A = this chain, B = another copy of it.
């Protein structure tokens, strides 16, 4: 039997790289320009975020509202305060904003000091990226598509059945069912995908409880994020729960990585990717933890660290050892 997920699995000598929001460390996140330039450096998988406009168009952007740190209006002025909700704007309204750069002086900008700054970058339709993947040079590219959804904020997105149907419709129209992973922190979305498109592989994102979480924890007993997943039956073992749910991928936060759990997940047949791994130390630790794939804002840096370890990220790039 052909393993069509082989390009996403770790093999001896190869750890996969997923460019996070294309390559947020160096290019404006989730823009078509960034996707193209990231494909061009030989990154085979890109991670991206989906939300929906008020007229039901899946678009590629991360935050439920336009972010003042990264959004200029049609006159070139920075948004102030809380921007409008993506799901309250038509695509035509949304397309007037420019997300080509980060605003100096903001905390968000300070986190990505090498990210290029340009004008004229719209939030793309998901379909625009799907269309780009038909280009001959990009026939081996995979998409790791995160569907943004929040159990306590249904106003941010369409009803889940409609939302999932819209994304699947684009994948099918462009023949991308064989090059797509669908992932979410909201596992209810993944249940809907399992019903509608059981053959498209699903990835279960997780962020464990901790003393000072920097975002919302999604995995714990009776969490609204995990839908009908039977937490207690598996004693909270995420690899076992994801496997039971029919997931092909488990995607834990990199600080939550435990090599024994990664090994268990792989024994269960899962592919383990981890997010979002940027510092050299963290990238090396993720490699050592045994993951299949690393989601990073700095794919060039991750390529180079793999090579320095005698590893690679794709079959046609040879591991290059430091000696000899």
Contact = CB atoms under 8 A, between A and B. Distances in A.
Contact of A113 (B27, B301, B323): B301
A105 B321 contact: yes
A116 B42 contact: yes
A116 B102 CA distance: 23
B298 A117 contact: no
A307 interface: yes
A78 B303 CA distance: 17
Interface stretch (A33-41, A50-58, A155-163, A218-226): A33-41
Of the candidates A42, A117, A301, A323, the one having the most CB atoms from chain B within 10 angstroms of its own CB is A117
Interface stretch (A181-189, A233-241, A242-250, A312-320): A312-320
A103 interface: yes
B119 A300 contact: no
B105 A322 contact: yes
A109 B76 CA distance: 39
A116 B299 contact: yes
A172 interface: no
A118 B41 contact: yes
Interface in A17-50: 25-27, 33, 37, 40-42
A117 B303 contact: yes
A198 interface: no
A85 to B, nearest CB: 24
B119 A317 contact: yes
Interface string A82-114: 000000000000000000011111000100011
Interface string A279-303: 0100000000000000000111101
Contacts of A300: 26-27, 114-117
Nearest to A298: B114
A104 B307 contact: yes
A304 interface: yes
Nearest to A103: B320
Contacts of A116: 41-42, 299-300, 303
A308 interface: yes
A238 to B, nearest CB: 32
A310 B299 CA distance: 30
A296 to B, nearest CB: 11
A322 B104 contact: yes
Contacts of A118: 40-42, 317
Given A104-B322, A114-B114, A116-B299, 4 more contacts: A42-B117, A78-B320, A105-B308, A117-B300
17 contacts: A27-B41, A33-B41, A37-B37, A76-B318, A78-B320, A101-B307, A104-B321, A104-B322, A105-B308, A105-B321, A113-B280, A113-B304, A114-B114, A114-B298, A118-B317, A119-B316, A119-B317
